[in-house]
Structure 1
């Protein structure tokens, strides 16, 4: 059980919760919250996050990427979980994601078959993308497109989806905080890829840091974190009601600490800053949500 819990990579789960929380907070002044739909939205997001982590563990082990990596021990490559058992777990979490998502859509769109089908297709694409990230022939994560997957699904889809499932209408301003969550999630992945830059290069995994080099990857890291804060600040400015809306800017000092770490520390010492980046993203989501709720009550 301990090995499976480690395979789930609990330290990355704040990303799923963060996007969900921001999406929920944005509905506060737009609709009465449907708690069952909200709970199933979070559950589905967590299942997809775990599926992605299991697929990554399996894919990196079978491709040989894990042989010289410097981060935490992976379960398949270390022999603590067999590749067959991991494949079965991936099937289980694919089915759990599908079941949870289908129940969610049944409750959210009881009388709108078209919307339910559209969201179901998005969910199926999400399941396929989580697996294809590092599994199969020509996984796109090894070609440097993992950042796009993370930005789209942990930012745009999760925040927009959480919001739309509650209010069932589009507000394009939601793109701004959704993009922020996507960028911060990419930041977590980028710390991981900077940490593993040498082992990834040796294994032929062409992540963004491998493609552009560590110096440029650090600049990239700085840009995505600062841009994420600016986009949410722009959202608060455009929807301004009180200065409490800018409360999330307090997390900037944690991002600055993370940037300094990836700039100065050797790869072998970066692993704690992956967790720090995930927790910083969660703190951003909490402060952003508090700011939204206080602004609503002001």
Structure 2
């Protein structure tokens, strides 16, 4: 078990804010938006303004989620001194709870503002679709905050995995594609499933790392509920199923050998799976959280470039 010396405490206000934003998770933001945009380009419906505004909106949402997670974990006692993973800014006392709440309001407003601009640029005055995506955007903001920062956070009930699968996969990829194309044809749900499963794997690395401290604090993450060994099998399932969904899409919509370019990312996926299976200490497993996020982005880039070259 790690000692307190394994926990990095941010020093100074600027470092604390950067730490709370958890920049290493931000590649996931580009992953779902990138996949939806690559698919739109494959089907000749790509709009640059949609890509940039969707990426900005999702970036704001991800930072909001990370800040809310920092605030919520500290509020509910998950980030205690016994926690094996990296310390949070509020728990470390560098950022006050009131300051964190104000930052959450700021990023909620930025998410809403950029999201409204995105919908207007994509959908114009098509009010039915506009209203649907507006409600979906509010749900995304609510999900980002409710994950850990409410009185009954769903993240502590083990529902975070489902939320990530839906919002980073099906909604993130499918919604981005729709904003480009104004339809949902073309078998896009298979690549969307791949991104959602790989994003869920990022969360699972985090939860396997924190399994002991989460169990002690009453946080019922999936690894806490099923045990570490079963969580390893679950992790492998996420990775293998993500690869199979990408292979299925390629076989169903095959046009060129370039579409197999995403296979170059599989060694990195294998490395992550092996690390989760063999590394038990939090300090040893922690780097693979960032590695899995970057691997997801690498998968999306190689998959997307393969589509563009097809």
Instruction: Name the TM tier (shorter chain).
Output: over 0.9
Aligned to 1:50: 63
Unaligned ranges ≥5, structure 1 = none
1:111 aligns with 2:125: yes
Q: TM-score, normalized by length of structure 2?
A: 0.93
1:248 aligns with 2:257: no
1:91 aligns with 2:105: yes
Aligned to 2:297: 282
SS at match of 1:76: helix
1:198 aligns with 2:212: yes
1:61 to 74, 86, 93: 74
28-37 or 153-162, which moves further after superposition?
28-37
Aligned to 2:9: none
Aligned to 1:136: 150
What value does the CA root-mean-square deviation take over the aligned residues?
1.0
2:64–2:104 Cα contact (<8 Å) kept: yes
1:164-179 correspondence to structure 2 within 5 Å: 164-171=178-185, 173-179=187-193
265-274 or 276-285, which moves further after superposition?
265-274
Q: Once the two structures are superposed, what CA deviation does each residue of 1:112-169 show, in whole Å capped at 9, x if it has no partner?
A: 0110000000000000011000011211000000001100001111111111101101
1:30 to 43, 48, 59: 43
Q: Distance in 1 between matches of 2:188 and 2:204?
A: 24
Q: TM-score, normalized by length of structure 1?
A: 0.97
2:34–2:301 Cα contact (<8 Å) kept: yes
Aligned to 2:287: 272
Q: Once the two structures are superposed, what CA deviation does each residue of 1:226-264 show, in whole Å capped at 9, x if it has no partner?
A: 100100110011000012111111211111111111111
Report how far residue 38 of structure 1 moved. Answer: 1.6
1:222 aligns with 2:236: yes
Report how far residue 33 of structure 1 moved. Answer: 2.9
2:85–2:210 Cα contact (<8 Å) kept: yes
Q: Distance in 2 between matches of 1:243 and 1:139?
A: 46
Q: Distance in 1 between matches of 2:272 and 2:122?
A: 39
Q: Once the two structures are superposed, what CA deviation does each residue of 1:28-74 show, in whole Å capped at 9, x if it has no partner?
A: 13334322222111100100000000000000001010112222221
SS at match of 1:66: coil
Number of aligned residues: 295
